[in-house]
Amino acid sequence: MTIPMAQPVLGEAEEQAVLEVLRSGRLSLGPRVPEFERAFAEWLGARHASAVSSGTAALHLALRAVGVSEGDEVVTSPFSFVASANAILYERATPVFADIDPVTLNLDPDAAAAAITGRTRALLPVHIFGYPADVPALEAHGLPIVEDACEALGAVHADGVKVGARGHPATFAFYANKQLTTGEGGMLTLGSAEHKERVDSERNQGRAPDMDWLDHDRLGFNYRLTDLACALGLAQLERLDEMLADRAKVAGWYREALAGSEVGLPCPDADGNVRGWFVFVVQVPRERDRVIGALRDRGVPSKPYLPAIHLMSFYRERFGHREGEFPVCEDVAARSIALPFFPRMTEGQVAQVAEALLTAL
């Protein structure tokens, strides 16, 4: 039996929630949007939350909220999904990459510090694969921080604060493989009421809350999330703790099945940091692409995840990036494989993947 790469947990609660919205006729700009925002903020412990159409939209609005604009530099991780760097370019600012920590795979605070210049307007750490980035270390620079928490719902910092609840604008994504899904969608958590007002306006074509429909007092976008999606999100939020626990359980099975092998495993939780499990990514010692092919031959899908952003053709051509600039990132990116991973994965499926991987090696 072929194993899926990812699979959302959807049931009657989700069906009912979406049907209710369909029957109400209020498909957008209705009551489910603020309900989902409030429930999400409460679950996380964030002051404010704004629902948007994607994690990428959340990143764009977050960077605008902290004042990133043309000519600015934003220090960020090259080991991320491309959207975290692209969003910086949307504002004609420059992503300045700094290398990652070889254990956590997150932005190395020392490398980030060395990359700061007089033009640095913000820092954009990514909580990659759901492991908390060292945001407290970055806070020491006194620069605005935007957190890419798109993979990190459920993660907790060493001081007990959930990732995304420190007060910096933080972004979440709800694509179908994420810890919580609305099909497509995103959330931006915020610590300041002014940021919330600006984001809510800019996601809705720059319209102020008290304005007539066709009056706009600033540049805006259509980054709205529908009531259908928010209803789905509310139903998913009800089962989020359970889904997160199931993901952690599956990760535990993988860890046991691959223990003692030459496969590099995701770093275990350390110093009080807690990972919010999103993907199970391993590093193989050699021949990554052949291993992916061998897995495919045995009905096991897998992905080279993640490629280094600075070595993607667009970034090479635009900025002249070359191999060797960020050696830790490049080494990890060349050896990483995302394995099938989802909350209802069985122990038998995990054993099948692990066996296929060890045989391939």
Ligand X SMILES: Cc1ncc(COP(=O)(O)O)c(C=O)c1O
Alpha-carbon gap, residue 149 to 341, rounded angstroms: 19
Nearer to ligand X, 76 or 201 (CB): 76
Nearer to ligand X, 43 or 81 (CB): 81
Sheet containing strand 48-52, edge to edge, reads 48-52, 186-190, 170-173, 147-148
Active site residue 178: yes
Smallest distance, ligand X to C-beta of residue 96, A:
17
Smallest distance, ligand X to C-beta of residue 347, A:
27
Smallest distance, ligand X to C-beta of residue 56, A:
3
For residue 332, what are the CA distances in angstroms to 80, 96, 109, 329?
12, 19, 18, 5
Decide: 235 and 13 in contact? Cβ < 8 Å.
yes
Nearer to ligand X, 150 or 281 (CB): 150
Which is it for the CA torsion 61, 175, 338, 320, positive or negative? negative
Nearer to ligand X, 153 or 356 (CB): 153
Smallest distance, ligand X to C-beta of residue 228, A:
16
Residue whose token pair is 């300041």:
192
CB hemisphere CA count around 53 (13 angstroms) = 11
Decide: 280 and 254 in contact? Cβ < 8 Å.
yes
DSSP state letters, 166-194:
SSS-EEEE-BTTSSS--BS-EEEEES-HH
Residues at the site binding ligand X, with contacts judged by CB under 6 A: 54-56, 80-81, 83-84, 126, 148, 150-151, 173, 175, 186
Q: Which residues pair with 50 in a beta bridge?
A: 188
For residue 195, what are the CA distances in angstroms to 138, 241, 312, 359?
21, 28, 33, 52
End-to-end CA distance of the chain: 21
Smallest distance, ligand X to C-beta of residue 285, A:
25
Smallest distance, ligand X to C-beta of residue 81, A:
4
Nearer to ligand X, 91 or 151 (CB): 151
Structure-block tokens of residue 259 = 């223990």
- Comparing every residue's Cβ against ligand X, the nearest one is 55
- What residue type is assigned to position 69 of the chain? S
Closest CA to 163 of 148, 184, 176: 148
Smallest distance, ligand X to C-beta of residue 247, A:
15
Which one-letter DSSP state was computed for residue 77?
Answer: -
> Which residue in the list 162, 178, 249, 303 is annotated as catalytic?
178
**Active site amino acids:** 178
